[in-house]
Chain A
Amino acid sequence: MTDTTPSPQETTEHHSVGHIVPVRILAATGIALLILTVFTVWIAGFDLGNLNIWAALAIAAFKGSLVVLFFMHLRYDRPFNGVVFVTSLALVALFISFALTDTREYAPDILPGDATEVQKQLAEVQP
C-alpha cells in the first residue's frame, strides 16, 4: 500500500484509530445498568403470570443493548461489525423459534409420564 492510495476501507482520519468514549458516558451507562438490575429484581417480585418472563427478557435486552452500544463502542464503530453481531443474534432467534415451534407442535405425541429410566427404577424399588 502506498501513502497516496488509501485502501477502500480507509477514511480521512488516517492516523486516529478507534473512537474514544469519555468516562462520563461510561459511568452513566453503568449506573443505568445497575438501576435496571435493581428494577428487574423488584419487578420479578410481583406475580404477573407470563408477563414476568417478557418483562425480564425485555429489561435484559435493553441492558444488553446498552452494553453493546456504549461499552463495546458499537455506536461509534463500523456498521459491519454490528451486522456481524446482529446476524449471530438473529440466527439464535431463528434457531429458538424453529425448535420451539416444532416441539410445541408435536407435544401431543409425547408419551405422558415417560421418564422411563427414572420410572422403572422407582417401580422396581417400591413394593
Chain B
Amino acid sequence: MTTIDVTKPMPPEAGRPAEGTNYLNHTTGIKSWLLTMDHKRIGVMYLVSILTSFFLAGIFGLLIRTELIAPGHTIMDADAYNMMFTLHGAIMVFLVIIPSVPASLGNFVLPIMLGAKDVAFPRLNLFSYYLWVTGAIFAVAAIIFGGVDTGWTLYVPYSTTGTEMNGIIFLSMAVFVLGFSSIFTGLNFIVTIHRLRPPGMTWFKMPLFLWAIYATGIIQVMATPVIGITVLLLIVERAFGIGIFDASLGGDPILFQHFFWFYSHPAVYIMILPGMGIISELISVHSHKHIFGYRFIAFSSVAIALFGFIVWGHHMFVSSQSPLMNVLFSAITFSVSIPSAVKIFNWLATLYKGSISLNTPMLYALSFIFLFTIGGLTGLHLGTLATDIHLHDTYFVVAHFHYVMMGGAIIALIGGIHHWWPKITGRMYSEFWGRIACGLVFVGFNVTFFIQFVMGSKGMPRRYWDYTDKYMIYHVISTVGSYIMALGFFITAAYLIHSLFRGRKAPANPWGGRSLEWQCSSPPPAENFPEPPHVGDCYDFSVLEWDEEEQGYHWRHDIPHPVGEA
C-alpha cells in the first residue's frame, strides 16, 4: 500500500475556493451548460432530463390505472391503452431507471467521492448525455409517427408483423441509441475507478456506492451491446423480412426472447445495483455508524453483476423454452437471491447500535428495505418453476417488478436526491414536507402494488385492457393507491422546487457524511479538489462533530487526519 505523508489534519474548509464561487456559478450562460464537460453539470442535466421523463411516464402510469378502475372502456380504447402501457414501460425502463442513478447522481458524486477532478473521459460523458437526448427524441418520434403497442419487451412476431403501428422502428432506434449512451457512461465510470483514484484511495477504501456503480458499469458495458444488435435485427426483420426471428420465414421467435433477456435481465441489475449502493451510503450516514460488513456488501455487488448474466431464461419458463434450460435457469436464479439477502442483513446490522435520524433520506432508505424485501422475497415464487407457471404474466409479476424497480430503484433514486440535494443545489428543502411526501409515497405505493400480488395469484393476466368483474375490487384499490402516490410525488416536486428559491443555505455537511463529497463546499467548486484530497475510512464518523452555528457537521480539529491508519 502506498504511504502518504500526513502532517496536518484536513481543515474543514479544504477544497473550498474563493467564497461564493462553485460549479453552478463559476461560468454562466446557456452555452456554458450545454457544452460543459464538468461531470457535475452533466449530472444535473441528466437529473433534470430523467425527472422530466419520469413525470411523463408517471402520467402514463396514472392514465393506465385510471382506465383500469372499471372493466371495459373507462377513458381510452384498447389500442390507446396498449400504447400507453408500452410507453409507460419503455420510457420508465430505457429513459428513466436504467440511466437514473448512474448517469445523474453517479455522474455528480462519483468523481468527488473518488477524489478525482472529473471522470476519465469528460467529452465522452457529454456525448453520452446527448445520445440520451437523441434517444428521447426518437422515443417521442415513435409516439408521433405511428405509435407503438408492442409492450416494452418488443416480442416478435407481434413487433415485426403483428402490429399496425409503425412507431416500432423509431422506438427500436431509441433503444439502440440509449443503449450506447448507457455503455459509454458505464465505460467512463469503470475507467475512472480504475485509473483515476488518488493516492491512498485503495479499492477497499472506496465508498460502497462506488462499488455498486462499478458493478453496474460491468453490466452496462458487457450486456448492453446485445440489446443493440437485438433491436437492429428487429428493425431489419420488420423492414426487410430477414427471417431470423419470424417463424413464418423460417426463423425462431424464442431466439428473440433469448436475445432480449440476455440484455434485459442484467439490465434489471443495472437498475437496482446503484440503488443498493445509495442505500448503503444512506443507512450508514444517517445512522452515524460504520457500515457493517463492508467487504460482504462490496463483493455482493460484483456477485450480483456476474450472476445476473446467467439467469435470463427465468423470464421464459412458459415461453416454450426447453425444460432443460428452464431447470438450469431456475437453479442459477436462486443463486442471485443470496447476495441480495446479504446486503439486507448487513444494512440491518448497520442500524444496530447506531444513532438513527429519521430525516427524509433515511425514511426513503428504510422504505427501500421494506419494499425491496417484499420485492425480493416474492421473486422466490417466480423463480420456483412450478409456481411461476401459474404466476407468469399475471399481475403478480407486475407487482413483483414494481416492488423491485420502483420500490427499489426509484425509491433509492428519490432518497439519493434528497441526500445529495444540499450538495447539488446548496439549499436545504423542507424536512417537514419531505417526511409527509415520503409517507404518502410509501403508503400509496403499497396500496397500489400490494393488492396486485393478490390479484395476480387469483389469475388476473397483465396487459389486459378489460377484465372480468371479479377482479374489479382489486383494481379499484390499486388505482386509489396510485393517486395517493402521485400526490406524494407532486408534493416532493413542489417543495424541492421551492427550496431552490427559498431554501435555507446548505452547510457543507448537513448529515455528517464522511465520504469526500461532504468535505467540499455545498455546492462543490468547479474543480472539486484543487489538490488531491486525503483519504481515510469513509465510514469512520468519529472525526466529525456537530456545529450548532452551521447546523451541520465539520471535521474535528483535535484529531489528525486518519489517512494511513489502515
Asked if A and B form a direct contact in the complex, defined as CB atoms under 8 angstroms apart, the reply is yes
Q: A5-B2, A115-B249 are known contacts. Are A102 and B195 too (CB-CB below 8 A)?
A: no
Interface of B is mostly: helix
Interface flag for B258 (CB, 8 Å): yes
- Report the minimum CB–CB distance from A80 to chain B (whole Å): 7
- Determine whether the beta carbon of B198 is less than 8 Å from that of A91: no
Tell me the bound Cα distance from A6 to B202 in angstroms.
13
- Determine whether the beta carbon of B320 is less than 8 Å from that of A109: yes
User: Please, what's the 1-or-0 string for A88-127, where 1 marks a CB less than 8 Å from any CB in chain B?
Assistant: 1001001100110111011001000011111000000000
Q: List the A side residues contacting B30 at CB < 8 Å.
A: none
Q: A87-B222, A95-B226 are known contacts. Are A106 and B198 too (CB-CB below 8 A)?
A: no
- Determine whether the beta carbon of A118 is less than 8 Å from that of B321: no
- Determine whether the beta carbon of B198 is less than 8 Å from that of A105: no
Tell me the bound Cα distance from A94 to B306 in angstroms.
13
- Determine whether the beta carbon of A94 is less than 8 Å from that of B194: no
Interface flag for A2 (CB, 8 Å): yes
A interface residues, tally (CB under 8 Å): 27
Interface flag for A22 (CB, 8 Å): no
User: Please, what's the 1-or-0 string for B163-197, where 1 marks a CB less than 8 Å from any CB in chain A?
Assistant: 00000000000000000000000000000001101
- Determine whether the beta carbon of A5 is less than 8 Å from that of B199: yes
For residue A102, which residue of chain B has the nearest CB?
B325
Tell me the bound Cα distance from A4 to B532 in angstroms.
13
Q: List the A side residues contacting B313 at CB < 8 Å.
A: 98, 102
Interface flag for B209 (CB, 8 Å): no
User: Which residues of B, 243-293, contact A by the 8 Å Cβ criterion?
Assistant: 246-250, 252, 254-255, 258, 262
- Determine whether the beta carbon of B255 is less than 8 Å from that of A103: yes
Interface flag for A50 (CB, 8 Å): no
Q: List the B side residues contacting A114 at CB < 8 Å.
A: 247-248
User: Which residues of B, 480-538, contact A by the 8 Å Cβ criterion?
Assistant: 532
User: Please, what's the 1-or-0 string for B187-221, where 1 marks a CB less than 8 Å from any CB in chain A?
Assistant: 00000001101110010000000000000000000
Q: List the A side residues contacting B532 at CB < 8 Å.
A: 1-2
Q: A7-B197, A98-B325 are known contacts. Are A103 and B309 too (CB-CB below 8 A)?
A: no
- Determine whether the beta carbon of A98 is less than 8 Å from that of B258: yes
Q: A94-B310, A95-B226, A116-B247 are known contacts. Are A102 and B198 too (CB-CB below 8 A)?
A: no
Interface flag for A9 (CB, 8 Å): yes
Q: How large is the interface on B (under 10, 10 to 19, 20 to 34, 35 or more residues)?
A: 20 to 34
Which of B4, B247, B248, B320 touches A106 (beta carbons < 8 Å)?
B320
- Determine whether the beta carbon of A101 is less than 8 Å from that of B197: no
- Determine whether the beta carbon of B195 is less than 8 Å from that of A9: yes
- Determine whether the beta carbon of B222 is less than 8 Å from that of A102: no
User: Please, what's the 1-or-0 string for B311-324, where 1 marks a CB less than 8 Å from any CB in chain A?
Assistant: 00100000011111
Number of A-B contacts (CB under 8 A): 72
- Report the minimum CB–CB distance from A26 to chain B (whole Å): 27
- Determine whether the beta carbon of B324 is less than 8 Å from that of A105: yes
Q: A5-B4, A94-B310, A109-B320 are known contacts. Are A103 and B202 too (CB-CB below 8 A)?
A: no
Tell me the bound Cα distance from A95 to B324 in angstroms.
16
Tell me the bound Cα distance from A80 to B195 in angstroms.
12
- Determine whether the beta carbon of A8 is less than 8 Å from that of B2: yes
- Determine whether the beta carbon of A2 is less than 8 Å from that of B324: no
Q: A8-B2, A91-B222 are known contacts. Are A2 and B199 too (CB-CB below 8 A)?
A: yes
Tell me the bound Cα distance from A114 to B253 in angstroms.
13
- Report the minimum CB–CB distance from A125 to chain B (whole Å): 17
Tell me the bound Cα distance from A103 to B254 in angstroms.
8
Tell me the bound Cα distance from A102 to B222 in angstroms.
22
Which of A94, A99, A101 has the most CB atoms of chain B within a 10 A radius of its CB? A99
Q: List the B side residues contacting A102 at CB < 8 Å.
A: 254, 258, 313, 321-322, 324-325
- Report the minimum CB–CB distance from B312 to chain A (whole Å): 8
Tell me the bound Cα distance from A113 to B198 in angstroms.
64
- Determine whether the beta carbon of B222 is less than 8 Å from that of A88: yes
For residue B324, which residue of chain A has the nearest CB?
A105
- Determine whether the beta carbon of B255 is less than 8 Å from that of A7: no
- Determine whether the beta carbon of A94 is less than 8 Å from that of B309: yes
- Report the minimum CB–CB distance from B512 to chain A (whole Å): 29
- Report the minimum CB–CB distance from A94 to chain B (whole Å): 7
Q: List the B side residues contacting A98 at CB < 8 Å.
A: 258, 313, 325
- Determine whether the beta carbon of A7 is less than 8 Å from that of B199: yes
- Report the minimum CB–CB distance from B395 to chain A (whole Å): 28
For residue B161, which residue of chain A has the nearest CB?
A117
- Determine whether the beta carbon of B255 is less than 8 Å from that of A99: yes
Q: List the A side residues contacting B199 at CB < 8 Å.
A: 1-2, 5-8
Q: A94-B310, A116-B248 are known contacts. Are A106 and B254 too (CB-CB below 8 A)?
A: yes
Q: List the B side residues contacting A91 at CB < 8 Å.
A: 222, 309
Tell me the bound Cα distance from A6 to B258 in angstroms.
46
Q: List the B side residues contacting A1 at CB < 8 Å.
A: 198-199, 532
- Determine whether the beta carbon of A106 is less than 8 Å from that of B321: yes
User: Which residues of A, 51-105, contact B by the 8 Å Cβ criterion?
Assistant: 80, 87-88, 91, 94-95, 98-99, 101-103, 105
Q: List the B side residues contacting A8 at CB < 8 Å.
A: 2, 197, 199, 202
For residue A1, which residue of chain B has the nearest CB?
B532
Tell me the bound Cα distance from A99 to B312 in angstroms.
11
Q: List the A side residues contacting B226 at CB < 8 Å.
A: 95
Tell me the bound Cα distance from A80 to B222 in angstroms.
15
- Report the minimum CB–CB distance from B552 to chain A (whole Å): 30
Q: List the B side residues contacting A94 at CB < 8 Å.
A: 309-310
- Determine whether the beta carbon of A99 is less than 8 Å from that of B258: yes
- Report the minimum CB–CB distance from A18 to chain B (whole Å): 15
Name B residues whose Cβ lies closer than 8 Å to a Cβ of A. Answer: 2, 4-5, 194-195, 197-199, 202, 222, 226, 246-250, 252, 254-255, 258, 262, 309-310, 313, 320-325, 532
8 pairs, CB–CB < 8 Å, chain A vs chain B: A5-B2, A5-B5, A7-B197, A98-B258, A102-B325, A103-B252, A106-B320, A115-B248
Known: A103-B255, A118-B250. 15 other contacts (CB 8 A): A5-B2, A5-B4, A5-B199, A7-B2, A8-B2, A8-B197, A8-B202, A87-B222, A94-B309, A95-B226, A95-B258, A102-B313, A105-B324, A106-B321, A117-B249
Which 8 pairs of residues, A with B, have the shortest CB-CB distance?
A105-B322, A117-B248, A5-B199, A106-B322, A116-B248, A115-B250, A102-B325, A99-B258
Name A residues whose Cβ lies closer than 8 Å to a Cβ of B. Answer: 1-2, 4-9, 80, 87-88, 91, 94-95, 98-99, 101-103, 105-106, 109, 114-118
